[in-house]
Chain A
């Protein structure tokens, strides 16, 4: 079946502009995660959605970052007034249910964001 998809695959923007990144999880997966991967570093957790529960936003680095999810489907990560330090690969993952449980997270290919 189809995996996690993300769009765009690459995004180049100017400092100060807003960007929206999209994630389509695997159908039926109730949990959705966003991570940031800076060059040469591991994955940094950003935000987690689980069903209709309030999202866990504890990983968002600043109030310029926000995310939404429509039911148990598409999610968008929005970065307002982008800064050069926002340049990274943004990865989305989904899993059948609860975070931190035995469930495996399945990752999309990522969106490479470059802020000039």
Chain B
């Protein structure tokens, strides 16, 4: 079975400060890892994904994520937060072989204050 843990229900950060949204995963085999963002009353929007290669993945809107195999983590980061980044963020995992479900975490609400 595969799973994703997002240990923080909410992350608060001041505008201009760096932000981190945490994600750890469990999967057999090599993981495929994704981050999605959900704005109020909107569907999920793709931010970035890790398939293979460089551990630091760059995505939309200035976000990036670092894959750490030894810690089974895929934390989302941004050097300087914007108020408009306030939204619900979901981490998801699947595995690289055969027929695999995309499993989502419960989500982390990011609140960026002016």
Contact = CB atoms under 8 A, between A and B. Distances in A.
Given A45-B103, A104-B34, 7 more contacts: A42-B4, A43-B104, A91-B43, A99-B100, A100-B98, A101-B94, A107-B36
Contacts of A106: 46
Given A43-B90, A100-B94, A109 B100 contact: no
Given A91-B43, A109-B42, A110-B43, A42 B107 contact: yes
A45 B104 CA distance: 9
A54 to B, nearest CB: 12
Contacts of A41: 106-107
A80 interface: no
Contacts, number: 55
Q: Which of B42, B51, B102 has the most CB of A within 10 A?
A: B102
A107 B44 contact: yes
B61 interface: no
A56 B94 CA distance: 16
Contacts of B32: 100-102
Interface of B: 4, 32, 34, 36, 41-46, 49, 51, 90, 92, 94-95, 98-107
A100 B73 CA distance: 19
B87 to A, nearest CB: 14
A108 interface: yes
B46 A104 contact: yes
A83 interface: no
Contacts of B95: 100
A76 to B, nearest CB: 18
Among A40, A93, A102, residue most surrounded by chain B Cβ atoms (within 10 Å) = A102
B43 A107 contact: yes
A99 B106 contact: no
A85 B32 CA distance: 32
A4 B44 CA distance: 11
Interface in A93-116: 93, 99-102, 104-110
Nearest to A92: B43
Interface in A64-87: none
- Sorted nearest first, the 4 A-B pairs with minimum C-beta distance are A100-B100, A107-B43, A100-B94, A107-B44
